[in-house]
Amino acid sequence: MAMLDLKDVSPRNDDDTVNVFVETPKGSRHKYDIDDHGLVRIAIEMPEGVTFPCSFGFVPNTIAPDGDALDIVLLTAGEVPARSLIQARLIGVLKMENDEGGEMTRNDRVVAVATMSRVFSDITELEQLRSGFAWDIEQFFETYNDMIERPFKLVGRGNAEEARKMLMTAIDAA
């Protein structure tokens, strides 16, 4: 059986959706990274009671301003396994900064809804999520960065159009 090579995965699809590679599933107490061999490695174990509120991953073949692939917070009703490739629709941006080598650097998280999700099927903008949903995710990232003792700052939020522009910039950068 052939292994999936992410270099062969298009970031965008013809229907204006994106392909999201899931590193860390919703509900996980571990932050996973994919190594150079495509293996899932545990990067961090979260404190008791702290889990990822959403699946976390990236859009293959993109480069965000922080030099990594474009980060995605993926909304689904339940967990999906690490290394899943999920088609999704962009709905907004959580704007953040964190310390990278002694300098505060933008490290935004684009928010997307899995196209197969029935629970989130009508959501097209971040602001349509239940009251406090985006705040909950932001609080998770504050807790996460505090836990790893990395300076962190919330900058704001953006809409679906801003998320699409970020995607195009990240595709062009790659």
Return the CATH architecture of domain 13-173: Alpha-Beta Complex (3.90)
| pLDDT at residue number 3 | 59
d(CA 130, CA 49): 22
Measure Cα distances from 111 to 38, 103, 151 in Å: 24, 25, 22
| pLDDT at residue number 172 | 97
| pLDDT at residue number 72 | 98
Q: Please, are residues 49 and 146 in contact by the beta-carbon 8 Å criterion? A: no
Run means of pLDDT, 10 residues per run, the chain, 174 residues: 74 94 95 85 92 96 93 94 95 95 92 96 96 95 92 96 97 96
Q: Please, are residues 92 and 162 in contact by the beta-carbon 8 Å criterion? A: yes
| pLDDT at residue number 1 | 45
Sequence spans of domains, the chain: 13-173
